Amino acid sequence: MKKLLAQLPAVDSLLKREEMQVLIERFTHQEVKRAIKEGLDETRQAILSGQVTNFSLEDLLGQIKQAFDQLIEPTLKATINATGTVLHTNLGRAILADEAKEAVQMAASQYTNLEYDLKAGHRGTRYQHVQDLLKELTGAEDALIVNNNAAAVLLYMTALTKGKEVLISRGELVEIGGSFRIPDVIESCGAILREVGATNKVKVADYQRGINEETGAILRVHTSNYRVLGFTESPSDKDLVALAHENDLPIFNDLGSGLLIDLQPLGLSYEPTIKELIQADYDLVSFSGDKLLGGPQAGVIVGKKKYIDELKKFPLLRALRTDKVTLAGLEATLHLYRDPKKAMQRIPTLQMIAKTKEEVKHQAEKLGQALSKHIKGVEWELLEGSSQVGGGAYPIEKLPTCLLLLRIEGMSEDELEKALRLSEAHIITRVMDGAVCFDLRTVLKGQDQVIVETLLHIVEGKN
Ligand SMILES: *Cc1c(COP(=O)(O)O)cnc(C)c1O
């Protein structure tokens, strides 16, 4: 033991080594010295306790370097989404089209005319950039952007219904997740919630009965993440809007998912588009930028100029305002929608939803063959299954897909799932039927190759 302890080098001699000099350039002399001392202390303790029976300088240097690597490693990392859930909220929802990525990079790295009117040569507004596009795409009189859809609802409820009663159907008292519950939101905006109808059945007459001198607005909330099925009834948009306007009340629609193109041709069920709701004459409609729209996180409000003007003047807007990077990404995404065909081809969210079972199967077969070719001890099979749109859109809709179930000799499915998740590529999969399950609907071009390499690495590491 004494002999081992005597082998431990002095701090100063370690500091002079090239590996440590590299670290000193990136960090500071003091930090590296402290790390060396700590490393030596740990090794000394390990020797004294008998855990370490031979000292390796290499190990010690490696240990110190690793500690610094961890320091500079970002915690927000790229992942590969092999779950098949297109708008996976935990994995950051929509990924951007190339056009939007370029716009984001431009806005992040250069000065922009964010709040500068280039023609007039003086101050402008940040909202001018997407306003006209949104008006064109939705048919609305005006538009406004905030941080996310939750912020949008918060803004218009606070600005327009504070101290008044808000009518909402019992069937629409939604919790969106992350404790965003419509009843709580309405209350926190200073409005008074007035529920109408029954959970499964609500009629125009129920709303009618709820109206009194205290009523400030009617709110409709899209039941994005669940459906009431069976014996159900709710008024049409047209009838409900008519009732609101006959009583001189504004009516708002929290649509959530934000569909600009009808997706029924893809075999999905009917969901109203923003344009239809504007045509139905809602005063304000709000939706997310990073759900079906396929853009960056944002909350979009479209509707009557009279109300949007009030929102623009409301002090809370300043706290909810979007940054230039988001606005750039959103503008570029919306631009693609001017040609719906282009939007379908260029926006990853729409592309992935549109992928057929046969296309996913083709990709899965190719991956399976590559795995068999390069890796020993793999066993895979294809299985019919379904992917989800996610992000609270199309809650009961299943997109027919083809799953690849993978097993590796000498490894449990849970071990394999964990190894993939913790690998450098951070591949997120599901476990199913004693196997690890890949749904390649959400795996991007070029990532199939990364999956093969990662699995090869995992299998080699195991032996
Ligand atoms: C998703 C959703 C929200 C919240 O939108 P964020 O953009 O995530 O803040 C609010 N309302 C409905 C109906 C939703 O579907």
CA–centroid distance for 224 within its chain: 15
Q: Which of 37-51, 198-212, 400-414 is predicted most confidently?
A: 400-414
Question: What mean pLDDT is predicted for residues 266-274?
Answer: 91
Atom of ligand 1 nearest to the CA of 297: 7
Question: What mean pLDDT is predicted for residues 162-167?
Answer: 96
Question: What mean pLDDT is predicted for residues 19-39?
Answer: 88
pLDDT reported for residue 191: 94
Residue ID of nearest Cα to ligand 1 atom 2:
256
Asked whether the predicted pLDDT for residue 156 surpasses 90, the reply is: yes
pLDDT reported for residue 193: 93
Residue 397 binned pLDDT confidence (cut-offs 50, 70, 90): confident
pLDDT reported for residue 262: 94
pLDDT reported for residue 2: 81
- Please answer whether residues 218 and 166 qualify as being in contact, where contact means their C-beta atoms are separated by less than 8 angstroms: yes
Question: What mean pLDDT is predicted for residues 132-139?
Answer: 98
pLDDT reported for residue 174: 79
Which residue, 363, 373, 355, 359, is CA-closest to 447? 363
Question: What mean pLDDT is predicted for residues 146-163?
Answer: 95
Helix H or strand E encompassing 26: helix 18-26
Range scoring the smallest mean pLDDT among 114-128, 142-156, 174-188, 260-274: 174-188
Q: For residue 458, how many other CB atoms are within 10 A of its CB?
A: 19
Q: How far is CA 113 from CA 117, 122, 146, 269, in A?
A: 7, 10, 18, 41
Residue 178 binned pLDDT confidence (cut-offs 50, 70, 90): low
Tell me how far the alpha carbon of residue 287 lies from the centroid of ligand 1, in angstroms: 7
pLDDT reported for residue 68: 81
Indicate the average pLDDT of the chain: 93
Asked whether the predicted pLDDT for residue 51 surpasses 90, the reply is: no
Question: What mean pLDDT is predicted for residues 60-72?
Answer: 83
Name the residue of 87, 219, 224 to mutate for ligand 1: max ligand atoms within 8 A of Cβ: 224
Atom of ligand 1 nearest to the CA of 222: 13
Tell me how far the alpha carbon of residue 376 lies from the centroid of ligand 1, in angstroms: 46
461 CB contacts (<8 Å, ≥6 apart)? none
Alpha carbons 297 and 295: distance in angstroms, whole number: 7
Question: What share of the chain has pLDDT > 90, as a percent?
Answer: 72
Residue ID of nearest Cα to ligand 1 atom 15:
256
Residue whose tokens read 């409709």: 220
338 CB contacts (<8 Å, ≥6 apart)? 133, 136, 137
Start-to-end CA span in the chain (Å): 33
CA–centroid distance for 170 within its chain: 28
User: Residue 72 burial (CB < 10 Å; 0-12/13-18/19+)?
Assistant: exposed
Residue 277 binned pLDDT confidence (cut-offs 50, 70, 90): very high
Asked whether the predicted pLDDT for residue 451 surpasses 70, the reply is: yes
Beta bridge partners of 302: 143, 285
Strand-pair category, 122-123 with 435-439:
unpaired
Range scoring the smallest mean pLDDT among 58-67, 201-210, 309-318, 390-399: 390-399
Query: pLDDT (tens digit, 9 = 90+) per residue, 363-389?
Result: 999 999 999 999 999 999 999 999 999
Residue ID of nearest Cα to ligand 1 atom 6:
149
pLDDT reported for residue 226: 66
pLDDT reported for residue 73: 83
226 CB contacts (<8 Å, ≥6 apart)? 174, 395
pTM over the 0.85 mark:
yes
Assign residue 16 a region: left if phi > 0, alpha if psi is -120 to 50, beta otherwise?
alpha
Asked whether the predicted pLDDT for residue 391 surpasses 70, the reply is: yes
Residue 240 binned pLDDT confidence (cut-offs 50, 70, 90): very high
Atom of ligand 1 nearest to the CA of 298: 7
Question: What share of the chain has pLDDT > 70, as a percent?
Answer: 98
Tell me how far the alpha carbon of residue 389 lies from the centroid of ligand 1, in angstroms: 15
Residue ID of nearest Cα to ligand 1 atom 5:
149
Query: pLDDT (tens digit, 9 = 90+) per residue, 426-448?
Result: 999 999 999 999 999 999 999 99
Query: pLDDT (tens digit, 9 = 90+) per residue, 3-14?
Result: 888 888 999 998
Name the residue of 180, 189, 222, 274 to mutate for ligand 1: max ligand atoms within 8 A of Cβ: 180
Alpha carbons 246 and 86: distance in angstroms, whole number: 41
Alpha carbons 302 and 248: distance in angstroms, whole number: 20
Atom of ligand 1 nearest to the CA of 174: 13
Spell out the domains of the chain, with CATH numbers in brackets: 2-72 (no CATH), 80-87+353-462 (3.90.1150.180), 98-346 (3.40.640.10)
User: Taking CB atoms and a 6 Å cutoff, what residues make up the pocket around ligand 1?
Assistant: 148-150, 176, 221-222, 224, 254, 256-257, 288, 299, 392
Backbone angles phi, psi at 149, to 5 degrees: -70, -30
| Greater pLDDT, 361 or 35 | 361
Kindly provide the b/e burial profile for residues 264-296, where b requires at least 16 CB atoms within 10 angstroms of the residue's own CB: eeeebeebbbbbbbbebebbbbbbbbbbbbbbb
Name the residue of 254, 257, 274 to mutate for ligand 1: max ligand atoms within 8 A of Cβ: 254
Radius of gyration of the chain (CA): 28
Residue ID of nearest Cα to ligand 1 atom 3:
256
- Please answer whether residues 42 and 49 qualify as being in contact, where contact means their C-beta atoms are separated by less than 8 angstroms: no
Tell me how far the alpha carbon of residue 412 lies from the centroid of ligand 1, in angstroms: 38
354: amino acid identity, one letter: A
Atom of ligand 1 nearest to the CA of 225: 15
- Please answer whether residues 413 and 65 qualify as being in contact, where contact means their C-beta atoms are separated by less than 8 angstroms: no
Question: What mean pLDDT is predicted for residues 162-173?
Answer: 93
Asked whether the predicted pLDDT for residue 28 surpasses 90, the reply is: no
pLDDT reported for residue 392: 72
